[in-house]
Chain A
């Protein structure tokens, strides 16, 4: 066949060209492989707008500083920050997009419906998915092979929260005669109530639970609910709330001059959000919340806190550390697995994720490890108390930076 260009390569030319290509490939291939294996590309999916925007933003602040902190520990990650708008449909399509654009691992996603939508895509694409926040127990019960969770389930949160109340009583020598449980009637609150109903009788608590009172978090005030609590007059009020309704709850307690010995959240946010502190001032102090928390004595936590303060001078790490800490750990798990596996190939990376054993990390608890279902069962809760409008770890003693104050001081006379 005649060449149109007039150039007819000889057999020698072709052999030469082939040899050159082969040599380039041989020399270049390891470099390419090395380049591919140098950095792990992680899609970080968060609800940064929509219903869960506040929590998503808080997590995002942690995610932003994570690559820099991890780099100091010898991990190389590149993050794709994706807002799924608190919308399940967007979560699914954006996961597909992230993977199409080269994401080799996915972490997220705070909200259970979206988390499951992401899990399906990851399962089909054989991409590891590290759940950093997501408490629905079913997430690790559905049989997904490319999913692990570094977070407590709802029952774990409540169970650990109750256990910490006993520790608190032992540490302060303050006893409670009775308790009332007050909870928002939203998804999280209703799930917590369910867990409380199941777990309180089994927990062997040294006081009876007199009543459980549900409330609408969108209500204008919680005067009726507080009146009900006041009528029972418990020493301990356990709450599952969000920040806006926690503000209403405390305000109505102050108005009605109801002063229990303690207000404790056995595993929910609300009592430590920035808006809670700003709205209530000194009245926001001395509330307790039993949650997994950033271990203030961990070197990695301190490194994360320093980076956080530098990157977000207007936000306090102490307030954001629950969300930021778990977000950081989710990325750490992926980065550590990648370092061990030496490849971003999905199945191999997932094997490494499942074999995770990280002793040095941020949140309270033992080494990060996963059971056969992908659940980390070694996360422990701490008792955290608001002191000078700052969440402060007060128990367990090995991670505490202050001792707990109980009973909490009267509403009047606080400064």
Chain B
């Protein structure tokens, strides 16, 4: 909390406190639709923040982060469906397996000097072959998908993530808040500074005595483990998992748009990104409907155009510009 607090000046802290309070109270006044949109925003804050650690801080481009969402979701869901092991317990093997995938990718990439776009290709390849693999693993339903049964008797078992919209709202909020805190903490830690040094100039970082391989491995391990927890949430929120739905590259892209638009390598970038992009999509649906534009895909076109405008106007991300304009951050950030 101290690390997060240190990110902002007095005005920033007031804005943050008010925003948190408003979000905590939102379900008391907001419609269920708005609550569901906010839940989705928090989910994207969480997974975006996990990706931000790896790309934003450590400078390692992963375009296959959906892999960890999928693995996390599948492991926890399969344990629940086949063995009745609840997600609070199932999250550990889920995280372990996802981190193992992360370790394998990291070891291959960092040990053999696969960098930049080639590393990104490696991450895509892993996600893709995992998708194909899951298409053929019968115990998790193969291509036909894995379904978590809707059991009315279990509704309200929050410890098994069997809750309604409100429960998932606060769960997603909690996850997002933890992700922000963890990022703030890591950003100010020794490891965070090592990541930034590696990101800016790996050779120089090595010359300074930083073990770049170890720093990057830590980044991918933490990022994959965090993302897997997001997968557990996703599985129990939607109650169905399909390989195509979980591991597709489009899912990875969806996940990284928030941090990119919000501001890479910043604590609040993924938060602002998610709060911009998810509602933007919903608003554009409403606007195209109100304008009587009955062209499917029109929303996607407007969405793309809006993204282009944002990136053109604030190429370093919205958060750095916003915090400067509103005077929310102190000198240190």
Contacts and interface: CB of A to CB of B under 8 A. Distances in A.
A48 B143 contact: no
Interface in A83-98: 83, 85, 88-90, 92-94, 96-97
B151 interface: yes
Nearest to A190: B143
Contact of A88 (B37, B149, B238, B243): B238
A227 to B, nearest CB: 23
Contact of A136 (B144, B285, B296, B299): B144
Interface stretch (A111-119, A249-257, A312-320, A353-361): A111-119
B100 interface: no
Interface string B280-307: 0110010000000010110110000000
Given A113-B145, A191-B143, A194-B144, A143 B150 contact: yes
Nearest to B240: A116
Interface stretch (A1-9, A49-57, A290-298): A49-57
A94 B285 contact: yes
Contact of B165 (A124, A145, A186): A124
B300 A85 contact: yes
A120 B300 CA distance: 26
B164 interface: yes
Given A85-B299, A190-B143, A116 B33 contact: no
A124 B164 contact: yes
A178 interface: no
A273 B215 CA distance: 54
Interface residues of B, number: 34
A93 B242 contact: no
Contacts of B165: 124
Contacts of B33: 93, 96-97, 99-100
Interface residues of A, number: 45
A93 B149 contact: no
B301 to A, nearest CB: 10
Given A49-B296, A85-B299, A187-B242, A143 B149 contact: yes
A89 B150 contact: no
A175 interface: no
B40 A142 contact: no
Interface in B186-241: 238-240
Nearest to B37: A93
A24 interface: no
B297 A185 contact: no
Interface of B: 31-33, 36-37, 40, 135-136, 142-145, 147, 149-152, 164-165, 238-240, 242-245, 281-282, 285, 294, 296-297, 299-300
Given A48-B296, A185-B135, 11 more contacts: A48-B297, A49-B300, A81-B294, A88-B245, A113-B238, A116-B238, A117-B240, A136-B144, A145-B152, A187-B145, A191-B142
26 contacts: A48-B296, A49-B300, A53-B296, A57-B296, A83-B285, A85-B299, A93-B37, A96-B32, A97-B33, A112-B145, A113-B240, A113-B245, A119-B150, A123-B150, A124-B164, A141-B147, A142-B150, A144-B150, A186-B143, A187-B242, A187-B243, A187-B244, A188-B143, A190-B136, A190-B142, A190-B143
